[in-house]
């Protein structure tokens, strides 16, 4: 039976991700233990908060190299959620720190012209518009609503990894995929039925 | 297309769910966890829980209660009531809450919310401001469950709070609480125009058209209400309810609910 580890680096609400995943898979650990992460068949990299602080936390826990090893060498599927997705990019202006660099992308602040209509953080339900098909979005119609809470977003330097876009005055990347690596800017664990569907799709990989 | 959130606000007193009119006359409604289950089935966008006796009793909202909500809720939820310490926030988030709401303590110690935003991220920290006219005077924000006025005008307070790095402001009109005749549009609009963070309107909503009004005319990013989601009909029978997704999508596309 597959073992999934939700990486605990001390930021954000991990329990809600765990609770949703437990609907589909009994063997789930929330862990910051290098040994457990090394043995995982799948990883979820969650997180809410400051990019620079997240990078420091992961490094201070001695997890940076191990996560890289599981994802890049062992090629285990990994799903980044919100800040977790942003950590997969090369660089973030939030704390001016380097991320894992699994995607050719940078993390920048959301920019809006009309700040009466478009408040920052982008907080609430918005449509996720498919750019290309993916197992992650199987049986999820393009334009489905998901729950977002973020101030920064991923700016991709290439088109090929982009799975979906979302419109907040202008379009930003709301999901991407490269080989075994998946990232979503929204919170599937808080997005009712479609969110559950997405998580169960990830577990099928 | 982005659409605003529609948010039921559930008030807690002695572990029961209550609803007030103008912050008074609290009526017992039932078991809060049961309400969460119903809001799950109705696919509610987000929930807010406020323990309205916590500050007076010098304690924070119950961790056990928040855990129970966390076990049930399928949607994001925020909790507030008597929060005065960073480690309380840590524990509330670990118990499943997405956001915490700070009211009285934010007025007294703005630096505290700055620290909280720094530690837990802006989007985790919400400030709720209760607004009422002082007797024959100007609008002011109030604390301690509407028992004590401050010297802050609503817009001054909103700006001050934004400067502390808070991610969202709930603007509640005390005088319109439970009236169900519509939000205080000028108040909400004045706050939306003063800050660049999301503003949630609370106090006075009775229909979906009131919500559309606050969104289109006062730029509210979240539409919160109590009575509207727990009462049914003119005699106010207790019935937990929530509009369906199609209704919501249509409302914010067309601007009116027919």
| CA distance to partner chain A, nearest, from residue B166 (Å) | 10
Give the model's pLDDT for residue B184: 98
Residues 63-102 on A with a CB inside 8 Å of B are none
Instruction: Give the best-scoring range by mean pLDDT among A66-75, A116-125, B226-235.
Output: A66-75
Q: Domains, chain A, ranges and CATH?
A: 4-203 (3.40.50.880)
- Separation between Cα atoms, residue B150 and residue B161, nearest integer Å: 14
Name the residue facing A127 among B1, B75, B193 (closest C-beta): B1
- Measured CA to CA, the distance from residue B90 to residue A92 in angstroms comes to 25
* Each residue's pLDDT tens digit, A95-139: 999 999 999 999 999 999 998 999 999 999 999 999 999 999 999
Which of A116, A121, A125 lies closest to B192 in CB terms?
A116
The reply to whether residue B198 touches residue A13, judged by beta carbons under 8 angstroms, is no
Contact B257, B212 (CB under 8 A): yes
List, for residues B34-55, the tens digit of each pLDDT value: 999 999 999 999 999 999 999 9
Q: Is the pLDDT of residue B254 over 80?
A: no
B74–chain A Cβ distance below 8 A for any pair: yes
CB contact under 8 A, B221 and A119: yes
- Above pLDDT 70, what percent of chain B? 98
Q: What is the average pLDDT value for chain B, to the nearest integer?
A: 94
Q: Catalytic residue, from B45, B51, B64, B130: name it.
A: B130
pLDDT digits (tens, 9 = 90+) for B68-123: 999 899 899 999 999 999 999 999 998 889 999 999 999 999 999 999 998 888 98
C-alpha dihedral (A186, A188, A192, A194), degrees to nearest 10: 100
Q: Which of A131, A127, A124 is nearest to A150 (CA)?
A: A124
In this complex, do A149 and B122 lie within 8 Å of one another by their Cβ atoms?
no
Question: Inter-chain contact B123–A125, Cβ cutoff 8 Å?
Answer: no
Window 182-211 of B, Cβ < 8 Å to A: 192-193, 195-199
CB-based contact, A15 to chain B, within 8 Å: yes
> In the predicted model, is pLDDT for residue A64 greater than 50?
yes
Which candidate in A123, A144, A190 is best for mutational testing of the B interface (most B CBs within 10 A)?
A123
Task: Identify the pLDDT of residue A154.
Answer: 97
DSSP string, chain A: ---EEEE-SS-S--HHHHHHHHTT-S-EEEE--HHHHHT-SEEEE---S-HHHHHHHHHHTT-HHHHHIIIIIS---EEEETHHHHTTSSEETTTTEE----SSEEEEE---S-TTTS-SSEEEEEEEEESS--GGGTT--TTEEEEEEESEEEEES-STTEEEEEEESEEEEEEEEETTEEEESS-GGGSHHHHHHHHHHHHH-
Q: Is residue B258 predicted with pLDDT exceeding 70?
A: no
Rounded average pLDDT over B160-172: 97
Do the Cβ atoms of A12 and B93 come within 8 Å?
yes
Closest Cα in chain A to B167: A121
Contact map slice: A 97-156 vs B, CB within 8 A? 115-127, 145, 147, 149-151
Check CB contact under 8 Å for A187 and B219. Answer: no
Which member of A48, A124, A167 has the closest CB to residue B124? A48
3 state DSSP class of B107 = helix
B219 close contact with A: CB closer than 8 A: yes
Whether B199 sits inside 8 A of A119 (CB atoms) is yes
Percent of chain A topping pLDDT 90: 91
Mutate to test the interface with A, among B7, B39, B44, B76 (most CBs of A within 10 A): B76
Residue in A closest to B91 by C-alpha: A13
Chain A contact for B98 (CB, 8 A cutoff):
yes
Residue-averaged pLDDT of chain A: 95
ipTM for the predicted complex: 0.90
Q: Tell me what pLDDT residue A173 has.
A: 98
A109 chain-B contacts, CB cut-off 8 A: none
Q: DSSP string covering B127-153, please?
A: EEEEEEEPTTS-EEEEETTTTEE-S--
Chain A residues close to B166, C-beta within 8 Å: none
| B130 labelled catalytic | yes
Q: Between residues 159 and 178 of chain B, which touch chain A (CB distance below 8 Å)?
A: 167-168
Mean pLDDT of A62-79: 98
Rounded mean pLDDT of B124-130?
96
Instruction: Check A50, A82, A150, A177 and give the catalytic one.
Output: A82
Which of B184 and A12 is assigned the larger pLDDT?
A: B184
pLDDT at B256: 58
């Amino acid at each position: 039976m597959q073992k999934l580890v939700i990486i605990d680096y001390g930021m954000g609400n991990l329990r809600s991700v765990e609770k949703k995943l437990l609907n589909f898979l009994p063997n789930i650990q929330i862990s910051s233990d290098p040994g457990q992460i090394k043995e995982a068949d799948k990883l979820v990299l969650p997180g809410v908060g400051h990019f620079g602080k997240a990078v420091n936390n992961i490094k201070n826990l001695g997890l940076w190299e191990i996560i890289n090893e599981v994802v890049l060498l062992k090629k285990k599927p990994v799903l980044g959620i919100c800040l977790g997705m942003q950590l997969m990019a090369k660089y973030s202006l939030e704390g001016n720190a380097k991320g894992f660099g699994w995607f050719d992308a940078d993390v920048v602040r959301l920019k809006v012209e009309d700040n009466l209509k478009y408040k920052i953080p982008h907080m609430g339900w918005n449509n996720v518009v498919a750019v290309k098909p993916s197992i992650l979005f199987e049986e999820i119609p393009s334009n489905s609503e998901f729950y977002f809470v973020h101030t920064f977003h991923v700016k991709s330097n290439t088109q090929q990894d982009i799975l979906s876009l979302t419109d907040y005055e202008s379009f930003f990347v709301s999901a991407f995929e490269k080989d075994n690596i998946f990232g979503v800017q929204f919170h599937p664990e808080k997005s009712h039925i479609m969110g559950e569907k997405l998580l169960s799709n990830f577990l099928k990989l | 297309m982005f659409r605003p959130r529609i948010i039921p606000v559930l008030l807690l007193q002695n572990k029961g769910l209550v609803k007030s009119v103008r912050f008074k006359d609290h009526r017992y409604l039932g078991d809060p966890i049961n309400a969460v289950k119903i809001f799950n089935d109705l696919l509610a966008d987000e929930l807010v829980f406020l323990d309205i006796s916590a500050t007076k009793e010098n304690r924070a909202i119950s961790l056990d209660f928040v855990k129970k909500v966390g076990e049930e809720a399928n949607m994001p939820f925020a909790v507030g009531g008597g929060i005065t310490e960073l480690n309380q926030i840590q524990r509330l988030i670990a118990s499943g809450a997405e956001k915490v709401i700070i009211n009285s303590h934010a007025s007294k110690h703005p630096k505290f919310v700055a620290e909280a935003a720094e530690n837990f991220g802006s989007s985790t920290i919400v400030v709720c401001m209760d607004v009422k006219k002082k007797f024959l005077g100007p609008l002011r924000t109030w604390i301690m469950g509407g028992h004590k006025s401050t010297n802050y005008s609503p817009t001054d307070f909103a700006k001050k709070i934004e400067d502390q790095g808070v991610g969202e402001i709930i603007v509640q009109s005390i005088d319109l609480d439970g009236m169900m005749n519509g939000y205080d549009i000028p108040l909400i609009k004045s706050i939306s125009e003063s800050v660049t963070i999301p503003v949630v309107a609370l106090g006075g909503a009775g229909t979906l058209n009131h919500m559309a009004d606050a969104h289109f005319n006062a730029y509210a990013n979240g539409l919160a209400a109590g009575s509207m989601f727990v009462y049914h009909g003119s005699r106010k029978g207790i019935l937990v309810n929530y509009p369906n997704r199609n209704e919501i999508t249509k409302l914010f596309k067309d601007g009116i609910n027919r």
